[in-house]
Structure 1
Amino acid sequence: NNCEYQAMELDATEFDENDLPLNLVIRLNQRCTSCGKCVDSCPTGALVKKHVTLPVPFDELEQVRSVCAYCGCGCNLTFNVKGESLVEVTSDPDRAPNFGNTCVKGRFGYDFVHHPKRLKVPLVRRGDYFKETTWDEALGLIAEKLLQLKERYGPQALAALSSAKCTNEENYIMQKFMRAAIGTNNVDHCARL
């Protein structure tokens, strides 16, 4: 039994004349968290990840360490990349805070990376349309508009709403920016909603 949650049950539906199982069925009970550990530890390859359509030798993958973007826990992830494609997400069992464990979103929820409508560059409204621009221009425009609003209406007219998908450090920087640079305490977090 490789599942630490004891979420996998193995049943035989048929037996041969020697009472050996012919047809095995794997069932996942309500304790399954879809962590993917059963797939990793399957010695025969009978359990596979649905999204991996082309097997790639592990030594051909570039490993990029990162932090999960789905919540603020800060779980470590390793992105296994081949060229421009994210092939698989794994996690180092020796690194805190998750020590190789991931939730279903962190482990399997990365298909948005290859979505054709994913924004890869900043967009700025020009009349009725959005046009691609550089990061320098987009950030400059944001700074300009924030300063205009602050000068016209005062710092209390501005507020910031942070995200649980950010790291603690990113949330800290956001609130520090709002308090020190903008001059407002109007800071909140989506986890309170």
Structure 2
Amino acid sequence: MVCPVGALTSKVSARKGKSYQVDKVLTTCTYCGTGCTFELNVKDDQIVGVTSVRDENWSPVNRGALCVKGRFGWDFVTSSDCLTTPLIRENGELRPASWDEALDFAAGKIKEIKDKYGSDAMAMFSSARATNEENYLAQKLMRAVIGTNNVDHCARL
């Protein structure tokens, strides 16, 4: 719950915009299998916070309540630790690569494995730090393109 007078606020959201200055984007939390609904608060194309949705028609699962991960675990999106360039391992060392080179390399390796061992030799383990929509697309890739149902997710209740 958010302090009604603004005296208490989260450290990660502090001074990043008033509620009337942000756009609200309705989405589903992916930290666990519950599927809570929340709003991403976006200002200048950056996530500046997360708020719960109190309307039971939009949020029947969590009814406006959010766990600690759902409420405060979004700051990884803008972390400076995120990779910004693809890396390819050669002789045990990682080297920067272009996106085209990295995608061609990955596609080649996937094709090698599929040709040699079959589609079910591969699996996908998705991230709880991806959006629900990204996780949907990832499993669709594995099922429709790779041809396997070996799909799992690391989220835990």
TM-score, normalised to structure 2, is 0.69
Give the counterpart of 1:76 among 37, 43, 66: 37
Which residue matches 1:4?
Answer: none
Q: C-alpha distance in 2, partners of 1:53/1:130?
A: 37
Stretches of 4+ moved more than 6 A in 1? none
Give the conservation status (yes or no) of the 8 Å contact 1:78–1:89.
yes
Which residue matches 1:20?
Answer: none
Runs of 5+ in structure 2 lacking a partner?
none
Give the counterpart of 2:122 among 150, 159, 170: 159
Give the conservation status (yes or no) of the 8 Å contact 1:64–1:80.
yes
Q: C-alpha distance in 1, partners of 2:150/2:12?
A: 42
Give the counterpart of 2:94 among 129, 138, 141: 129
- Structure 1 residue 115: deviation in Å? 1.6
TM-score, normalised to structure 1, is 0.58
Q: C-alpha distance in 2, partners of 1:51/1:129?
A: 32
Q: C-alpha distance in 2, partners of 1:178/1:142?
A: 14
Q: Does 1:57 align with 2:18?
A: yes
Which secondary structure does the structure 2 equivalent of 1:105 belong to?
helix
Tell which structure's C-alpha radius of gyration is larger: 1
Q: Deviation per CA, 1:141-185: give whole Å up to 9, x if none.
A: 3332111112123344x23143473649946962x6556654556
Q: C-alpha distance in 1, partners of 2:33/2:127?
A: 5
Give the conservation status (yes or no) of the 8 Å contact 2:123–2:148.
no
Give the counterpart of 1:111 among 68, 75, 99: 75
Runs of 5+ in structure 1 lacking a partner?
1-36
Give the counterpart of 2:63 among 81, 91, 99: 99
The AA in structure 1 aligned to 2:106 is I
Q: CA RMSD of the aligned region, Å?
A: 3.4
Bigger relative CO (Cα 8 Å, ≥ 6 apart): 2
Which secondary structure does the structure 2 equivalent of 1:149 belong to?
helix
Comparing 80-89 and 108-117, the one that deviates more: 80-89
- Structure 1 residue 107: deviation in Å? 0.4
Aligned CA distance change for structure 1 residues 63 and 120 (closer, same or farther; 3 Å): farther
